[in-house]
A = this chain, B = another copy of it.
Amino acid sequence: MGTRLTWPGLDWTHGYDRATLSSDLVAAVIVTLMLIPQSLAYASLAGLPPQVGLYASMAPLLFYAAFGSSRVLAVGPVAVVSLMTAAAIGDLAQTGSPAYGLLAITLAFISGAMLLLMGLLRLGFLANFLSHPVISGFITASALLIAVGQLKVILGIQVPGHNFFESLPALILQLPNAHALSAAIGLGTVAFLFWAKRGVKPLLRLLGLGPRLADALARAAPVAGIAVTAVLTWAGQWHEQGVRIVGTVPQGVPPLTLPSWDLALWQQLAVPALLISVVGFVESVSVGQTLAAKRRQRIEPDRELVALGASNLGAALTGGFPVTGGFARSVVNFDAGAQTPAAGIFTAMGIFLAALLLTPALYFVPQATLAATIVVAVLSLVDLHTLRSTWAYSRRDFSAVIVTLLLTLAAGVEAGLVGGVVLSLLLYLYKTSRPHIAEVGLVSGTEHFRNVLRHKVQVSSQLASLRVDESLYFANARVLEDRVNALVSERPELRHLVMQCSAINDIDASALESLEAIDQRLRDAGLCLHMSEVKGPVMDRLQTTDFLKHLSGKVYLTHYQAVSELAPEVMTRSEVDVRH
């Protein structure tokens, strides 16, 4: 394959050789082993039959390989998106019914179309408005919601609702009614998987296995858990004692499907589909970027949108449900040595074989075992570190985390996510609307100016120096007006006001009008307004207006120049402490 293809999604085919093929094949085998139980589990989390999870793990991988910019991202069902799918369509049809399956397909189709459109319109930046604190709070809350939901499956009990604060106490009260055998299977699997995370690899190394093989086998722990519990269930015929099992999984290739074209339904699904798209995109891109950087590669967010859009359309056309780039499987793919998207294609083939041949073997798999693999997977998403670190770093960011977290737990994934985004934007606007404005004075013997409240500096009674630490725009322009008005009314001897503009990256039309008003008022009161250290782009803009022509004072290159010219006595004065 020595010829360079022009299709951007296939540039990795250039120079594809035997060594790369071998790396990709090994990675594919390991990821396939990991994906089989995950696919089944996430399908059941989304309220769908297990084979749908397998379907959603084939076409999306192929579509991503054709369009994506990451070489190692593995696309398929993931925990949070599956939860969001269940939340979006859970109230619209009976779980497990054909209508429910059609809703999932339609949701994937709408989400895919949105992602594709966002990619073509280069709207990837919209995802940036989902802040880290909001994502962290949302993912933690989602993980807790999922864990409680799966605990119900493990314990074989029914408790109402998606509201965490009602479900958790109800779950605890219902504990005496738990189905003991199911609980033993589920909790046993949970314990085994937690142990396996750390314990299996050293054990296998002790038994003399090589590090790569030991690692690969350790990742197959969920498969082992499923195999063992399925065999035990078959041997003990536990399903006759009330242990719920996967049952018959239709064997064969994924069906060709189409979404519903009901416009009213599309309107109903539009907001959930948008939220699923954005959350999936953000999760996928952050995984992709982290892994790409390790090999000094790069992913292109707008191309990722197109690729994820195509993947979801692929899922919709093959009987699947919404998918995205998963963290765990992509890391496994990377660590297992995947070099190119061919690893994804081989993985899709592996899942295809599993769907074709392996499904009868899944009959006796207990639901509790699948639930256990989900619980173990999602508990690693609970992020208490961010809660602690944002508390220490910024109360504003902390409030975004905690509000998103609590709102998601109390009111569900959609309300939590939207509420978190709106809150974080409002907090940002609030912060920028109250800029830090310092009156500064000269540090003796230097050309530096510092806050008069913090440092021993020299000032003049006739000249005031203000430094604004924020771009000036409509929300904070009047704050500056107020500050200047206060200054002028407090100091009758004032003759000059110099604004040090080194931190002002932009002045919008409102702020310009405020500056004109300030200048006019100062002039009316017998003062001059000067500016210093105005940035190039800001100056370019100001020069398109009359402002500089009408300005009562002058514009100085440095603040020191301004003060030397307007109040030279400051320069010669000995140090005075004006700390208040």
- A interface, CB within 8 angstroms of B: 125, 127-134, 289-290, 292-294, 296-299, 301, 386, 389-390, 392-394, 396-398, 424-425, 428-429, 431-434, 436, 469-471, 473-479, 481-482, 485-486, 488-489, 492, 502-503, 505-506, 508-510, 512-514, 517, 520-521, 524-525, 535, 537, 541, 544-545
Beyond A296-B524, A301-B482, A396-B508: 14 further Cβ-contacts under 8 Å?
A: A125-B479, A130-B474, A132-B513, A133-B510, A289-B481, A290-B521, A296-B488, A392-B545, A394-B509, A425-B425, A428-B474, A431-B506, A432-B471, A469-B505
Q: How far is the CA of A503 from the CA of B502 in the complex (A)?
A: 7
Number of copies: 2
Distance A210 CA – B469 CA, assembled complex (angstroms): 52
User: Contact: A505 with B506, CB < 8 Å?
Assistant: no
The 7 closest A-B pairs by CB, nearest first: A131-B474, A293-B521, A397-B509, A132-B510, A298-B489, A296-B525, A131-B510
Are A429 and B425 interface neighbours, CB within 8 A? Answer: yes
* 10 A–B pairs (Cβ distance < 8 Å), ordered by A: A129-B429, A129-B474, A296-B488, A296-B492, A392-B545, A428-B508, A429-B429, A436-B505, A469-B505, A469-B535
CA distance A157 to B252 in the complex (A): 76
Inter-chain contact B505/A541, CB cutoff 8 Å: no
8 Å CB contact of A433 from B125, B470, B485: B125
Q: Of all chain B residues, which has the CB nearest A541?
A: B393
Contacts of A502 in B (CB 8 A): 502-503
Given contacts A128-B479, A429-B425, contact A133 B521 (CB under 8 A): no
Shortest Cβ distance from A404 into chain B, in angstroms? 12
A292 to B129, CA, bound (A): 41
- Bound form: Cα–Cα A205–B389 in Å: 75
Chain B neighbourhood of A424, CB < 8 A: 474
CA distance A398 to B508 in the complex (A): 10
Which residue of B has the minimal Cβ distance to A482? B301
Q: Which of B390, B473, B524 contacts A509 (CB 8 A)?
A: B390
Are A517 and B290 within 8 A (Cβ)? yes
Contacts of A297 in B (CB 8 A): 489
B524 contacts A294, CB within 8 Å?
yes
A492 cross-chain contacts in B, Cβ below 8 A: 296
Q: Give Cα A505–Cα B428 distance, bound, in whole angstroms.
A: 13
Task: Find A428's partner among B294, B473, B512, B513 (CB 8 Å cutoff).
Answer: B473
Query: Cβ of A134: which chain B residues have Cβ within 8 Å of it?
Result: 474
A537 to B481, CA, bound (A): 23
Do A470 and B505 touch (CB < 8 A)? yes
* A524 close to B132 (CB less than 8 A): no
CB distance from A529 to the nearest CB of B (A): 12
Alpha-carbon distance A477/B131, docked complex (angstroms): 9
State in angstroms the CA–CA spacing of A142 and B33 once bound together: 67
The verdict on A128 contacting B478 (CB below 8 Å), with A293-B524, A525-B296 known, is yes
Known contacts A293-B525, A393-B512, A545-B392; A128/B476 CB under 8 A: yes
Shortest distance from the beta carbon of A394 to any chain B beta carbon, whole Å: 5
User: Complex: how many Å from CA A293 to CA B524?
Assistant: 7
**Residues B477 and A128 in contact, CB atoms below 8 Å apart:** yes
Contact present for B485 and A293 (CB under 8 Å): yes
Complex alpha-carbon distance, A537 and B394, angstroms: 12
- In whole angstroms, what is the CA distance A209 to B485 when docked? 38
Bound together, the chains give a CA A521 to CA B288 distance in angstroms of 12
B129 contacts A475, CB within 8 Å?
A: yes
Q: Which residues of B contact A130 (CB under 8 A)?
A: 474
Q: Give every chain B residue within 8 A of A525 (Cβ-Cβ).
A: 293-294, 296
- Contact status of A509 and B133, CB under 8 A, knowing A296-B492, A521-B290: yes
- Among A431, A486, A508, find the residue whose CB has the most chain B CB atoms closer than 10 A: A508
Return the chain B residue nearest A450 by Cβ.
Answer: B536
A544 / chain B contacts, CB cutoff of 8 Å: 392-393
Which of chain B's residues have a CB closer than 8 A to the CB of A390?
509
Which of A128, A393, A431, A475 has the most C-beta atoms of chain B within 10 angstroms of its own C-beta? A128
| A119 CB, min distance to chain B CBs, angstroms | 15
Contacts A125-B434, A469-B537, A537-B436; is A545 near B393 (CB within 8 Å)? Answer: yes
CA distance in complex: A514, B541 (Å):
31
- Would B509 and A389 count as touching, CB distance under 8 A? yes
A436-B505, A503-B503 given as contacts; is B537 within 8 A of A296 (CB)? no
